[in-house]
Structure 1
């Protein structure tokens, strides 16, 4: 029989060396992984905003997508379902913008005629100035000296042809083109997310649970709920403000009241942006001599916006996220100030994280 050589026991010195080497390898792997992730993020840095917008829209529509996917017409047809949802999102954005551009082109001829008339004859003093309770004479004298005369040689008219205005026009065109490209890539990303369907959400929750435990997965779910509640609150309140202020447009006799109501609804989806639209409309009424209508529109719009922004919107968002009113308000305004338009949705999600961590700490 062949004898097997006896096993050599591990040296006491070799075990600590191997353990130390393993620790260094794990640390090096972690550094390598982090470096590769940061490099990948730097490569796609121009598309992070696109993915974020697509994620916000997908999170907001996820319950509806899941409900429709169970319908017999769409069961198992993920590509068709993703196509329908993506086209609907595109129409909801492109249709109002297209209507606004078409209306602006129709009004461009009249605006050009008015502009030429102002160059030759100036702007007449509005009738409402004479009915002002005080300051009518001073305003009339200033108007006659500065605006009632032909404006062809005025500094303002000359400034309209300056290189600065041309530069601003080119900058606006470049920004509009960039926004269009971002929207196009967002639709493509959104289609891919919709097509992935529940598999994507399940993978994300599984990765969060594996990396951060059950508490991490719950935190991700809370953040998604916060984003969904924020989108719902912004859309519901925006449509409500647009309808209520649009009724005032009809009552005061403003032209294109339906289009103005649509523009106001879109603006009202952003906090405190609706006053810009009804404020300009009130100024137009004031310039036409309708002092009472202008004051009524301004007062009604201010009341609607105050109630919606300070009470309705925070309650809608707070009920879905279980956030206090102050945290909702700080999340929306602070997020918008820090991250821009996208921060309106990121802010409440971060406040939700803060609230969850605080709850876990005090329990």
Structure 2
């Protein structure tokens, strides 16, 4: 029996696909200002969800009190340090620029403590004095204009920090909403993943959560430990603006640049001022703080998932270049999630056996 052949309505399919594409672009256009903030909030909530559950159990099962405590913690960790840093830069910008651009303001010190260095102290002191008397003032006069330009460039970056604060505000708002409805949102995401890839889709979501938690522990927690210990060393040594420098160290540690970019100038300033004892103590303390990430970061990362350190470093640097300051948090998570999913997909296939004669193996292939 012959059945009538069903005709394909090609124009209908094309218009349907075009309508779906148009609606998708329109939705993306509408939510584009909130994508980075929501992505950042999702990572923060996934990484700190076990802490929220512990606080909820501590507060007699009240989710509202736990969400309030987590919101305060996020404000103290993200918004307050950056706001304090920006306000301090703005307040001190005019005196800094005036001091850096005034002529004959900068002079080289005499560095009498060079005499105390064994064997080579007298020679170093004589060479330093010869440089001061011969061309020190000329050298400082040439360097001084660049100091003013550098300070102006740093202040121009405040606009990017302001954008970072806006994303911080969106992140905290979305984090509160996700904390309140976290279980429902998680089930909805897993349901969507199952609809796309069945059991493999659900496993991919769980692997992504493990990767996010590993990056949060390995990068952020290590940066907090290094910045706090470095700030304690600065405060004990009597370095001015130790609080601001601690915040700068935290940002540098997040960017995987390390705390030495702040600690080394502080040591130079102490030796410059003649505080050789405190400079030496800060030098020893800086060596301890700078090497902590070699031990803490691998341990913290493996608490969440086994990820290569190079992958995290590339994610931090690439995210910083691609998205700005917020990329410090998004970049490593994107690479870590992609790595874990690709790693799991590859290992679903059996490993190849050893090939003793590659030429014979290739000849056997039809």
Alignment TM-score, normalising by the size of structure 1: 0.74
Residue 249 (1) aligns with residue 237 (2): no
Query: 1:322-361 alignment to 2 at 5 Å?
Result: 322-323=306-307, 327=308, 329-340=309-320, 341=328, 342-361=330-349
1:315 pairs with 2:299: yes
1:320 deviates by 1.9
Across the two proteins, how many residue pairs are aligned to each other?
338
Q: Which moved more, 1:230-239 or 1:207-216?
A: 230-239
CA contact (8 A) 1:122 1:149 kept: no
Gap regions ≥5 residues in structure 1: 1-8
- Superimposed CA distance per residue, residues 216-272 of structure 1 (whole angstroms, 9 cap, x where no aligned partner): 111111111111121122233223323443454355444565665565355434423
* Residue number in structure 2 paired with 1:229: 214
Query: Deviation at 1:358?
Result: 2.6
Contact map agreement 2:252 2:259 (CA 8 A) in 1: yes
Of residues 192, 198, 204, the one that matches 2:177 is: 192
Measured after TM superposition, the shift of residue 112 of structure 1 is: 8.1
Query: Which is higher, the Rg of structure 1 or of structure 2?
Result: 1
CA distance in 2, matches of 1:111, 1:158: 13
When residues 339 and 104 of structure 1 are mapped into structure 2, their CA distance, relative to the original with a 3 A threshold, is closer
Equivalences for residues 161-176 of structure 1 within 5 A: 168=153, 171-176=156-161
Higher relative contact order (CA 8 A, sep 6+): 2
Matches within 5 A, 1:1-363: 11-12=2-3, 14-15=4-5, 17-18=6-7, 20-21=8-9, 29=16, 32-34=19-21, 36-69=23-56, 75=62, 82-100=67-85, 119-120=103-104, 122-127=106-111, 130-131=114-115, 133=120, 134-145=123-134, 147-148=136-137, 154=141, 157=144, 168=153, 171-249=156-234, 252-255=237-240, 260-261=245-246, 263-265=248-250, 267-291=252-276, 293-306=278-291, 308-323=292-307, 327=308, 329-340=309-320, 341=328, 342-362=330-350
What TM-score, normalized to structure 2?
0.74
Contact 1:209/1:215 (<8 A) preserved: yes
- Post-superposition Cα deviations, 1:149-178, rounded to whole Å, max 9, x if no partner, equal 797xx455556777x976x36732422322
Change (3 A) 1:40 1:171: farther
Range with greater deviation from structure 2 (329-338 or 241-250): 241-250
